A and B are shown apart, each in its own frame.
Chain A
Amino acid sequence: MKAQGKAFRYGENVDTDVIIPARYLNTSDAKELASHCMEDLDATFVKKVQLGDIIVAERNFGCGSSREHAPLAIKTAGISCVIASSFARIFYRNAINIGLPIMECEAAVAGIKMGDNVSVEFTKGVITNETTGERWSAEPFPPFIQKMISADGLIQYLQQEVLS
């Protein structure tokens, strides 16, 4: 499994209120949410993002509200992976639960600029800046979470493991 695309580079503490402002939460329609993704932080994001692109941000990405609308908006906007120095915990579990790949790697974040072409190999945890040629390895997921991802999210995983 691999992702490749251009990087949208942001700072630290990108909160779920700027990822998807509450004024748009009167719907749970993923496409509608995606059309406002990152609006209060980067009004050009929605216009520029292309399928496969990657968000790269500094520490504590996704802090704040538990709204799953945030990873959902990011995923539906076409983002294939979020790389951050660290993730806020609810965002972390939401992303895993809905199947939005995320990677924690501080070194990669430091070495990627806005617009760089970035690729990620999920199974090996390897992140490459194709623009500069730099390469980093990130911590792979623990087996429990890998199982969940390969089951395509929490619901399917639980159907297999718990309800059967």
Chain B
Amino acid sequence: MSMTMSQKILAAHANVDQVRPGQLIMADLDLVLGNDITSPVAIKEFAKFGIDAVFDTSKIALVPDHFTPNKDIKAAQQCKMMREFAYDKKIEHYFEIGQMGIEHALLPEQGLVNAGDLIIGADSHTCTYGALGAFSTGVGSTDMAAAMATGKAWFKVPSALCFNLTGKLPPWVSGKDLILHIIGMIGVDGALYKSMEFTGEGVASLNIDDRFTICNMAIEAGAKNGIFGVDGVAIAYLGAHCKRTPLVFQADEDAEYERTYDIDLATLRPTVAFPHLPDNTRTIDEVGQIKIDQVVIGSCTNGRISDLRIAAKILKGKKVNPTVRTIVFPATQEIYLQAMDEGLLKIFVQAGAVVSTPTCGPCLGGHMGILAEGERAVATTNRNFVGRMGHPQSEVYLASPAVAAASALTGYISNPESIEE
């Protein structure tokens, strides 16, 4: 029987030649991830095993990124618990404040993700690494605990949806607009339990940061994972970051997809997801006049260097609207440094934005930019659920860095095409 790319990676890690959709397998993992929210629960569960050592000290990554630098005493206690576990178990990839970044930007950058890897993380956006041809998926803390002990996890083999991309994105339209468009089209459970596989000649024109953004939001369509084929763009990124040789899995020619969607990238428009679901999308032309109080540029979705470059291009030499609090979060220390070297941070500060240390911060309503009752934000993040960024009566509009930056200038959700350079 033919297999999709995701199925082939699962089969290889379950040490079988063949898997079929719906089959339950136990598979070997290449990496297990946890953060400062999910790890404390996992550490408590790990203790129940009554074993001393983790399965492999080099295959676990612990990243304090959600409520850090410690937001309050309780958060500090959670981080302390994770730090002590990391030292005690001699976890190689523990990233202290100063080295850390938002986990899903950090792990690929640190070379912990390779093509062909099977990765689980106790964070739903673990699906980001599909951009590099890995099978990666979010799980809960008990799965993380079990994986730290055994190096294994159970999976139900997913069927797949195919997204066949053609053409090229127009100016000011990005991977974020594509994935918002897709989620708007198939719905927040449109890919439930399934893989989203992105193929077609249009893929070549998507840079690696766009691909990370696209796979990052696969979970927002309910998917188990999102994945791109490994091409020159992915190999170049891996070559610069990962020391291991890429393991390339290709979908069989006759692999079965539940459905194939053909998307011409050239037809896409800047797209915004209105509250309170990521599938509540409208193109920028249908948005109308929406006044905003805050703009957030960053997160594991859009806090990478190309995102910051786009925002800086729009904000350069201008001032943000004085009624809009504009907050920029480079996703990792390395991105922060690069943005500094390229002069992007200066552009942001001169424009009247604030630049934060890497953290999840306001993305999950943690700290560093919480919304009050009735306030609205345009954010380059990935979720706009009720109360996601603060008060249950606040609103989050999801958009690309270009739309977010343009909106910061005008005070309304705005089309980047309308901003004069």
Contact = CB atoms under 8 A, between A and B. Distances in A.
Interface of A: 13, 15, 17-18, 21-23, 25-28, 40-41, 59-60, 63-69, 71-72, 86, 88-90, 93-94, 97-98, 142, 144-145, 153-155, 158-159, 162-163
B38 A90 contact: no
A22 B364 contact: yes
B51 A163 contact: yes
A69 B41 contact: yes
A153 B49 CA distance: 12
Interface of B: 24, 26, 37-38, 40-41, 44-45, 48-49, 51, 66-67, 71-72, 74-75, 78, 121-124, 126, 138-143, 145-146, 149-150, 152, 154, 188-189, 192-193, 219, 222, 224, 277, 364-366, 383, 385-388, 392
A93 B139 contact: yes
Contacts of A142: 24
A65 B386 contact: no
A26 B154 contact: no
Contacts of B140: 66-68, 71, 90, 93-94, 97-98
B37 A25 contact: yes
B365 to A, nearest CB: 5
Nearest to A87: B192
Given A26-B72, A93-B140, A93-B143, A88 B189 contact: yes
Contacts, number: 138
A159 to B, nearest CB: 7
A144 B154 contact: yes
Contacts of B51: 163
Given A28-B40, A155-B145, A64 B222 contact: no
Contacts of A59: 189
A28 B44 CA distance: 9
Contact of B49 (A22, A89, A98, A159): A159
A145 B143 CA distance: 14
A145 B140 CA distance: 16
B365 A23 contact: yes
A29 to B, nearest CB: 9
Nearest to B152: A162
A94 B142 CA distance: 7
A40 B45 CA distance: 28
Nearest to A59: B189
26 contacts: A15-B383, A17-B385, A17-B386, A22-B365, A23-B365, A26-B67, A26-B78, A40-B387, A40-B392, A60-B222, A64-B124, A66-B121, A66-B122, A66-B139, A67-B37, A68-B38, A69-B37, A89-B192, A93-B140, A98-B140, A154-B142, A154-B143, A154-B146, A155-B49, A155-B145, A163-B49
